[in-house]
Amino acid sequence: MKNPNASLKARPTILLVESSIIEQENFAHIAMQEGWQLVICNSGIDAVHWFIKNNKADVLVIEEDSAPLNAYQTADYIKTELGLMLPVLITVGNISNQQELRAIAYAKGFIKKPFVKTDTIHQINEIRERFPQKITIANHSYSLNYLRDIFDGHEESVFESLELFSTSVNTELDQLNMELQNRDYNRIREIAHSIKPSFEMLENETGRSICHLLNSEAEETEMPNLIRDLQLEFASITKQLTRDFPELKIGG
Amino acid sequence: MKKILVIEDNPMVIKSLEFKLTKDGHEVLIAKDGREAMKFLKEANFDLILTDLMLPFVTGIELISYIKKNSPNTPIIVLSTSTQENIIMDAFNMGVDDFITKPFSPNELSLRVKRFLNKA
């Protein structure tokens, strides 16, 4: 009889962010031969979303100059903003000493491109030995702890706040899209600043982090993707709230 | 009963501040933007002002400047976020008394508000 845990252990889930089709195919070929479960993502943010949605992964392999967040920013975001210990391997062409130091500061190592079978397998296996457990995250898109604390356990006020979250953030997200069309990036930063506490009050780290990026260091070119991700996160929270509290006016 | 003006545009933050400050026994007036705040400031005196810095129409910095000119003894607490270090420094240089980071701890808010109202 096969041990299901052994089978799980034998099939690591690898998230790959790689823009070159040829390198994607190279990696996919190695993954297929080794029996790895490969998920190809368009960006680091996409990989993070896949990870949050599917709640499992063993390692993120990401190209150094990915966009909108590069590999270092993505690794830093995963570690410091989301507080996750998902191991990150950065893929590079030529490796300088400076790059090597930088990669080590942010990630668990690097893989040289073009992908070579022996080196790639070695790096992935080494990571799996160092981090044998599949990384999972708690599947809670929100928490009522803060609201219950501030409203002193007054449930009616907590529920009114949830309805306020749904209506007010929905309106501001519409406004964000409008300002994106108008290319009014300063206004986008202001709106993100304004709605950030709403996500914080529901203890939603993804929404808080995206608002933080939009409000501070995000480049204008990164804003469309970040706004889309914020909308997805908002939809995920309101969907969960509707399930948990069908009597409330959420998402209407 | 002490009179507090809250100038803030996030409805969830407004609701929580209103709940907490009213429960602590204060009279609370809410201005959702800088323009509304200016109207209140021209019509009444307050024992304490809690204000955000990034506000529609009239900025928090402009409001602080107005308050310091027309009601210099009214204490001001800035409601800030963690990304506003430079703006907070500007506000302190203009004479604001304290700042609270959003979302605030309920007990911390009560204590800080009480401290300034006792001085008034």
Q: pLDDT band at residue A115, thresholds of 50, 70 and 90?
A: very high
Give how far the C-alpha of residue A5 lies from the chain's centroid of Cα atoms, to the nearest Å. 26
CATH 3.40.50.2300 fits B3-119, yes or no: yes
Average pLDDT, chain A: 84
Least confident of A136-150, A217-231, B24-38: A136-150
- Residue A118 is predicted with a pLDDT of 92
CB B92 within 8 A of CB B65: no
Q: pLDDT band at residue A5, thresholds of 50, 70 and 90?
A: very low
CB B13 within 8 A of CB A197: yes
Peptide bond before residue B106 is cis, with ω within 30 degrees of 0: no
CATH 1.10.3470 fits A145-244, yes or no: no
Average pLDDT for residues A109-126, to the nearest whole number? Answer: 89
For the residues of B42-107, what is the DSSP string, one character each? HH---SEEEEESS-SSS-HHHHHHHHHHH-TTS-EEEEE-TT-HHHHHHHHHTT--EEEESSPPHH
3-state secondary structure of A135: strand
Nearest to A212 among B12, B54, B83 (CB): B83
CB B18 within 8 A of CB B6: yes
Determine the distance in angstroms separating the CA of A125 from the nearest CA of chain B, rounded to an integer: 40
The tens-digit pLDDT sequence of chain B (120 residues) is: 999 999 999 999 999 999 999 999 999 999 999 999 999 999 999 999 999 988 877 888 889 999 999 999 999 999 887 556 677 777 788 888 988 888 888 888 999 999 999 876
A135 C-beta neighbours (distance < 10 Å), count: 18
What ranges do the domains of chain B cover? Answer: 3-119
Residue pairs between chains A and B whose CB atoms are closer than 8 Å: 53
Give me A122's structure tokens: 């070695």
CA torsion sign for B9, B13, B19, B24 is negative
Q: Which spans in chain A are helix H?
A: 4-10, 21-34, 44-54, 71-76, 97-106, 117-130, 145-150, 155-182, 185-201, 205-215, 223-244
Predicted confidence (pLDDT) per residue in A170-196, tens digit: 999 999 999 999 999 999 999 999 999
Asked if the Cβ–Cβ distance from A168 to B54 is below 8 Å, we say: no
Pairwise CA distance, residues A4 & A134, whole Å: 14
Q: Over 60: is that where the pLDDT of A59 sits?
A: yes
- Residue A163 is predicted with a pLDDT of 96
- Residue A78 is predicted with a pLDDT of 77
Q: Is A176 on the interface with B (CB under 8 A)?
A: no
Residues 6+ apart with CB under 8 A from B32: B8, B9, B14
CB B91 within 8 A of CB B2: no
At the fourth CATH level, the homologous superfamily of domain A4-130 is: Response regulator (3.40.50.2300)
Asked if the Cβ–Cβ distance from A150 to B11 is below 8 Å, we say: no
Predicted confidence (pLDDT) per residue in A18-39, tens digit: 999 999 999 999 999 888 989 9
What ranges do the domains of chain A cover? Answer: 4-130, 145-244
Give how far the C-alpha of residue A240 lies from the chain's centroid of Cα atoms, to the nearest Å. 18
Asked if the Cβ–Cβ distance from B103 to A190 is below 8 Å, we say: no
